[in-house]
Chain A
Amino acid sequence: MAVAAAAKIAEVRETTRVERIGAHSHIRGLGLDESLEARHVSQGMVGQVSARRAVGIVLQMVREGRIAGRAVLLAGQPGTGKTAIATALAAALGHDTPFTSMAGSEIYSLEMSKTEALTQAIRKSIGVRIKEESEIIEGEVVEVQIERPATGVGTKVGKLILKTTDMETVYDLGGKMIDSILKEKVQSGDVITIDKATGKITRLGRSFARARDYDATGQQTRFVQCPEGELQKRKEVVHTVTLHEIDVINSRTHGFLALFSGDTGEIKPEVREQINGKVAEWREEGKAEIIPGVLFIDEVHMLDIECFSFLNRGLENEMAPIVIMATNRGITKIRGTNYKSPHGIPLDLLDRTIIVPTTPYDEKELREILSIRCEEEDCQMADDALTVLTRISKETSLRYGMQLIMTSSLIARKRKGHEVEVEDIKRAYQLFFDEGRSVQFLKEYQEEFMFNEMEEEEKMDVN
């Protein structure tokens, strides 16, 4: 009995907490008010007021959608919130505007050339809103049955029973559909629509007939009528696809299933040209609308000279998105050359960008960020412990400070304490070295390590 209960709890936890806590999962927006002024602490963002205000203006530019091919560079030391600002921008833009996030090193793939990877990234950042008649299934869920094979491997089998006030039908589910039904947490009693071609599920609400199932329901639960008539309908729907998705669907060798398998390979330039023409045609006919989005390239100094010149050219295209780049480098070699340039970016591209600097956080801001992170990681911390942690972050780095939150909270839990005390922080600080102490340790004991070559003073160089 107890075992069964424990298994049940584990199962519940598995389904309710699918999202894991990432480095930037506390960010919900840019934290600006209506007049685009930055609030000091809002939506998970702290400090960096001028940079956030600048990005707020970029946000306005993207929303208006008239300006194409601008580049913005976020420059600043490590751990000053560059990626956080980009994540916040993505959150502020919402679902409908495409936001592609990539790291500079992502373009070095053996499957496709560098320029192809960049082109795909650029085309992923441009959305097309299309009005289209498509086949949808709309009904109330009677039952969801998903069976995993007993061995744990192999394909899952799924069945979905839907009804309207007039009929009832059993559907077979494909593997992708099963995943999205699990992800959307579709239960019996929900009223849903499924786009038959793309498999997109939209939850309309819960059926009125099930309103008395639970005594307590969440505030946001909406009750709707069970649909009437046929389950399958043709409806005019508006949906946003990216240019890249249209490319993939139309590149004959793969078909649209390649979108799900992820393996798209290279797409012929002729296909792209054809699609650009077609999209322009639709736009004239009023069938489609272009939504320029944002391409965010983190660690942009990892791009090499060819990519930069390609970007230079690509930005001139009127279909180009707004490109936001982030780097933590100062004056350094441009990858692929022996020339030095600010931020490792050639001057001609730098000339086209507007540069937004981020500055190191002060102690008050660090404390604010650490307390937000504590909340995000579900960790109670005593006030003086937070002060100590803030000092540590100030002296070492914010990232190290954030690492100590979880570790010290685990130490506190081990001694069955409710809160993280100064002692726990100290313990974690002794157990885990920060970068500075690690270097010092290496300097002291380098003779005992293998392959030590400290004689020739050489700085780390990723180029």
Chain B
Amino acid sequence: MSVWFTKLLKAKKSCIIDNNLKKVHYELDNGAELVEEYDLNTNVVTRRAWRRNKELKGEQSWDVEIGDPEPTYNFEEKYMIRENSGQPFVTRRNTRINIEWRIRNLPYPIEVYSVIVDKGTNSIIVKTSNKKYYKKINIPDFDRLEIELEQENVSCSHRFNTLIITYKKPKKMIEFEKALFEEIKKIEPQNSEDLNNCKIS
């Protein structure tokens, strides 16, 4: 199998089951942490987040690859600069056969957008003809599994101020996810009952 798969096999793994979600925590040998959340009804990753190099500036926040970003609360008032809440943002979703991106807060009609696969950087580029939005979407999974992007797998639609880009999963990826899920089944879940019943003093 691929290099990435063996790397995950070697990582220190632990998991808990919370209702019908299985949460898996990997500790990779370079110190990075990876958390995945599987929906046990569909056996598909619904969330994935990374925490890389925590050496430089204390604890770093989680870097969300799949699923909704961590909610930010109002008490974190002391920000330096951040995008206005009305600005477009991308979230990624995983289904059994597709990878989907939703770019919210994009009010322009569908003719404006062009979604192109860039072979050079192996990424999808979203452009608008009115020069208001530009985004290069990387697919870390594909980089890890060394899969090349194909233009014919991309399709997109626009509804409710949201641009939805769909990419059909290549066979190699579906096989990898299946194999990984078989591995994850083997991890003994820690009893999540204890975690939930933890008394707050």
Chain A residues with a Cβ under 8 A of chain B: 130, 132, 137, 159-160, 163-177, 194, 196-199, 229-230, 249-250, 252, 255-257, 260, 278
Contact = CB atoms under 8 A, between A and B. Distances in A.
Contacts of A198: 80
Contacts of B81: 137, 160, 171-174, 177, 194, 196, 199
15 contacts: A137-B81, A167-B132, A168-B131, A168-B133, A171-B81, A172-B83, A172-B85, A173-B80, A174-B80, A175-B78, A177-B81, A197-B80, A198-B80, A199-B80, A249-B58
Interface string B121-144: 000000110011111100000000
A256 B57 contact: yes
B131 A165 contact: yes
Contacts of B135: 167, 230
B108 to A, nearest CB: 12
A249 B59 CA distance: 10
Given A160-B81, A199-B80, A168 B58 contact: no
Contact of B131 (A132, A166, A172, A176): A166
A158 B134 CA distance: 24
Contacts of B128: 167
B134 A167 contact: yes
Contacts of A167: 128, 131-135
B70 interface: no
Contact of B86 (A137, A165, A170, A199): A170
B200 interface: no
Interface of B: 55-58, 77-87, 127-128, 131-136
Given A130-B56, A132-B56, A252-B58, A166 B134 contact: yes
A256 B58 CA distance: 9
A170 B134 contact: no
Nearest to B128: A167
Given A174-B79, A197-B80, 9 more contacts: A165-B131, A166-B134, A167-B135, A170-B84, A170-B86, A172-B85, A173-B80, A177-B81, A278-B55
A256 B60 CA distance: 12
Majority SS of interface residues in chain B?
A: loop
B58 A255 contact: yes
B79 A168 contact: no
A170 B57 contact: no
A169 B57 contact: no
Contacts of A169: 83-84, 87
Contacts of A168: 131-133
Given A169-B83, A170-B84, A164 B134 contact: yes
Contacts of B136: 229-230
Contacts of B80: 173-174, 176-177, 196-199
A169 B84 CA distance: 8
Contacts of A164: 134
Contacts of A172: 79, 81-85
A326 to B, nearest CB: 36
B82 to A, nearest CB: 5
Nearest to B85: A172
A31 B41 CA distance: 76
A358 B102 CA distance: 70
A328 to B, nearest CB: 42
Contacts of A177: 80-81
B58 A250 contact: yes
Residue in B77, B79, B82, B136 with the greatest tally of chain A CB atoms within 10 Å: B79
A196 B136 CA distance: 19
Nearest to B57: A249
Contacts of A257: 78
Contacts of A197: 57, 80
